[in-house]
Amino acid sequence: MQDDISIRVQNLKGYYRGSFGVIHAVEDVSLIVRRGDILGLAGESGCGKSTFLKLLIGVPEPPLSYEGGEVELEGYDIWKMDYGTLRRKVLGKCVSYVPQSSCDALNPVLRIRQFIADLLKEQTGHSYSAKEIREMLVAHFASLGLDKRILDLYPHELSGGMKQRSVVAISTYLKPSILLLDEPTSALDVTSQKRLIEMLASLYQEGITKTIVISAHDLAILRQICNRIAIMYAGKIVEVGKMDDVVSDPLHPYTELLINSLMPLERRIKTEKLTALGGRPPDLRVPPQGCRFNPRCPSRMDVCMSKEPPLIEEDERLVACWLHCGRRQES
Amino acid sequence: MSEVLRVENLTKRYISGFVLTRKVVGAENVSFSIGKGEVLSLVGESGSGKTTVSRMILRLIKPTSGRIYLNGKDIFAYSIEDYYKKVQAIFQDPYTSFNPHYTVNKVLKDAANFIKMGSNDKSKSKEDAAFRSSLETIGLAADEVLGRHPYELSGGQMQRVLIARCLLIGPELLVADEVTSMIDASTRVAVLNELSRLAKEEKMAMLFITHDIGQAYYISDKVAIMEKGRVVEIGSTENVLFEPKSSYAKQLVTSVPKLHEKWELGLESIYRVD
């Protein structure tokens, strides 16, 4: 069903080009996110999560450059649109992107409501008075459990968690059907993390945003809210599936190691010895031959060194690993 | 277990502002003790005073009131050299802990010279072997790292070089202030395993400061939870983290995301039906 799909990514490629060489940060990524999914994007730092999200909204900043592939957001083929149309029709209205250091996105010399007035003027071409802004936003803030007094404050008067939640509230005011969040929780304390996750849940419940993509390196936090998860490693998606399935039975060796290296507050971590994932992520200027995970993989085979594994489907899950290609051929 | 560090009613008030000054509480009446081979975690959210306490123990800032004892002797009674032979620290950001011009070899050599300071030991040949063994025990290949500069190492490797340096100095108390927050989740376990081994095998007392409650549970014997400069709950890891008594500790512990348990967000019924 065509209508069902919120985000469709086909062979997306994005490289960083500069004096340091060419970093193959996102290589041939294909992914489908259906409307109503809350997708988590997990992986180590430097695996291409942020780069992938930046490419999804079609406005890469140098040295990041778009190198091919297609991205369709709610039917808009964004890499075929010119920047003006993209900005007028898609950004903010159809898709909202909350970058990693979004706390710094607020203007330090403007009150939150003045900041919002600026944004709305940019988006709608109409200037609103302070009173109008307050009337428009009080309900939106209240529905997300935010105090309306925040509107009259300056960013420095807010804590990190409040800033983050205000940014998310502002970026969803125009009711974008897709919300992309890049590491929204990593700079926050545990209690603020929980409040942010609860707020995202209420955004989703009230139908303000229909599809959410959250990147994070902490799988435990994604586990709380996402129904699907995509695992990235060295610029590639290695596994996609339902959250419960992936956590309880990871197929890709990297997913398994990533889950085992987590330290959630559970009694088992004291009794079972946790193992570290040896080595370090590969240098993406010269990605390893074959499977990109092969230098660190505990179950490496000969084929992994020479040929790249395709992303194959197995029981409603996608996995890119030769272990599973073999299994399918046998059965 | 013999007591290494004892902190009694430690208080620090910072003075904020220029003309209209006001006092800000950094830490208030903090008391705890750490025994030989014991790991105490200081857990709390940002701004709760964890680092203030560690800085006072490291003699980097002066307490407003209260006493700190190392092996039963007030810490200000030690000369600064003696004190740092007994107390060492590893900080959050490994990149700023290193002099960028120094190779790992030089860093370790400085540490070796520091221990010999004041003694007449002039032997040199042992050094290299000692560096190698200290690096090997924490799982770093000595040939790979010895000649390198900090920018050529990963965050995890750098933190482990700092652990090797501590091993060389052999302090009685190690203060580890958010050591894993700058390194990747996958190498975090390796660093924590090394620290834990250091405490158990070298019988070192350790003050482990973190905001990550899972890590505190993994590494420590005792946990103290801090809120707004005060210790609200202290006790064995099991009691504090799984049966917290104070309301703040309860709230903190339930906010920690778990991998095999979900919060009640009411989403199950409204997820798109697969």
Q: Using one digit for the tens of pLDDT, what is the confidence trace for B53-107?
A: 999 999 999 999 999 999 999 999 999 989 999 999 998 888 888 888 998 888 8
Query: A190-205 and A160-171 are packed helices; what angle lies between their axes, rounded to 10 degrees?
Result: 20
Q: By C-alpha distance, which of B31, B100, B91, B94 is closest to B58?
A: B91
The contacts found for B231-234 with CB under 8 angstroms, 24 or more apart, are: B231/B29, B231/B30, B231/B31, B231/B32, B234/B32
Main-chain phi, psi angles of A108, to 5 degrees: -65, -20
Measured between alpha carbons, how far is B65 from B68 in angstroms, rounded to an integer? Answer: 10
What is the residue-level pLDDT of chain A in tens, covering all 331 positions?
Answer: 456 899 999 999 999 998 888 999 999 999 999 998 999 999 888 888 999 999 999 888 888 999 999 999 998 999 998 888 888 888 888 999 998 877 788 899 999 999 999 888 888 888 888 888 888 889 888 888 888 889 999 998 888 888 999 999 999 988 899 999 998 988 888 888 899 999 999 999 888 899 999 999 888 899 999 999 999 999 999 999 999 999 999 999 999 988 888 888 888 777 777 777 777 788 888 888 889 998 888 888 888 888 889 888 877 899 999 888 765 555 4
Measured between alpha carbons, how far is A119 from A127 in angstroms, rounded to an integer? Answer: 10
Tokens, residue B143 = 């040939």
Average pLDDT over residues B177-196: 82
Q: What is the CB-side half-sphere exposure of residue A276 using CA atoms within 13 A?
A: 18
**Is the CB of A79 inside 8 Å of chain B's CB atoms?**
no
Q: What is the pLDDT of residue B120?
A: 63
Residues 130-169 of A with CB under 8 A from B: 160
CA-to-CA dists, residue B133 to A53, B127, B129, B138, angstroms? 45, 10, 6, 9
Min distance A142 CA to chain B CA atoms (Å): 18
Q: Do A264 and B184 touch (CB under 8 A)?
A: no
Tokens, residue B261 = 């348990």
Q: What is the pLDDT of residue B242?
A: 92
Q: Which of B184, B217, B252 sits opposite A269 (nearest CB)?
A: B217
Q: What is the pLDDT of residue A316?
A: 82
The pTM (predicted TM-score) of the whole model is 0.87
Break chain A into its structural domains and give their ranges: 5-109+154-330
Contact A118, A110 (CB under 8 A): yes
Measured between alpha carbons, how far is A39 from A56 in angstroms, rounded to an integer? Answer: 14
CA-to-CA dists, residue A265 to A76, A243, B96, B216, angstroms? 43, 19, 30, 9
Question: B224: left (phi > 0), else alpha (psi -120 to 50), else beta?
Answer: beta
- Within 8 A of B46 by CB-CB distance, chain A residues are 160, 189
Confidence band for B27, pLDDT divided at 50, 70 and 90 = very high
Residue of A nearest to B182 (CA): A45
CATH domain A5-109+154-330 topology:
Rossmann fold (3.40.50)
Confidence band for B122, pLDDT divided at 50, 70 and 90 = low
| Residue at B78: amino acid letter | Y
* A vs B: CB pairs below 8 A: 129
Measured between alpha carbons, how far is A80 from A72 in angstroms, rounded to an integer? Answer: 10
Contact A254, A231 (CB under 8 A): yes
**Is the CB of A256 inside 8 Å of chain B's CB atoms?**
no
Min distance A123 CA to chain B CA atoms (Å): 31
Q: Which CATH number fits domain B3-254: 3.20.20.70, 3.40.50.920, 3.40.50.300, 3.30.56.10?
A: 3.40.50.300
Rounded (5°) CA angle B245-B246-B251:
105
Confidence band for B270, pLDDT divided at 50, 70 and 90 = low
Confidence band for B29, pLDDT divided at 50, 70 and 90 = very high
Q: Do A267 and B185 touch (CB under 8 A)?
A: no
- Within 8 A of A193 by CB-CB distance, chain B residues are 255, 257
Q: Do B257 and A227 touch (CB under 8 A)?
A: no
**Is the CB of A191 inside 8 Å of chain B's CB atoms?**
yes
Q: Which of A34, A265, A275 sits opposite B213 (nearest CB)?
A: A265
Q: Which of A197, A269, A277 sits opposite B218 (nearest CB)?
A: A269
Residue of B nearest to A194 (CA): B255
- Within 8 A of B261 by CB-CB distance, chain A residues are 266
The residue of B92, B157, B184, B238 whose CB has the most chain A CBs within 10 angstroms, and thus the best one to mutate to test that interface, is B184
Q: What percent of chain B has pLDDT over 90?
A: 41
Interval B139-186: pLDDT, tens: 778 888 888 888 888 787 888 888 888 888 889 999 999 888 877 777
- Within 8 A of A189 by CB-CB distance, chain B residues are 45-46, 211
Measured between alpha carbons, how far is A218 from A234 in angstroms, rounded to an integer? Answer: 17
Q: Which of B154, B189, B272 sits opposite A276 (nearest CB)?
A: B189
Q: Do A205 and B272 touch (CB under 8 A)?
A: no
Interval A36-94: pLDDT, tens: 899 999 988 888 899 999 999 988 888 899 999 999 999 899 999 888 888 888 888 89
Does B272 score more than 60 pLDDT? no
Strand partners, B24: B14
Give the count of beta carbons closer than 10 Å to the beta carbon of residue B73.
Answer: 9
Chain B residues contacting A, CB < 8 Å?
A: 45-46, 154, 156, 184-190, 192-193, 211-215, 217-218, 241-242, 251-253, 255-263, 265-267, 270-272, 274
- Within 8 A of B270 by CB-CB distance, chain A residues are 204-205
**Is the CB of A34 inside 8 Å of chain B's CB atoms?**
yes
Min distance B168 CA to chain A CA atoms (Å): 24
Q: What is the pLDDT of residue B193?
A: 87
Break chain B into its structural domains and give their ranges: 3-254
Q: Do B260 and A247 touch (CB under 8 A)?
A: yes
Q: Do B257 and A220 touch (CB under 8 A)?
A: yes
- Within 8 A of A293 by CB-CB distance, chain B residues are none
Measured between alpha carbons, how far is B202 from B174 in angstroms, rounded to an integer? Answer: 11
Q: What is the pLDDT of residue A331?
A: 45
- Within 8 A of A247 by CB-CB distance, chain B residues are 259-260
**What is chain B's mean pLDDT, rounded?**
87
- Within 8 A of B218 by CB-CB distance, chain A residues are 263, 269-270, 274
CA-to-CA dists, residue A223 to A145, A206, A238, angstroms? 22, 21, 18
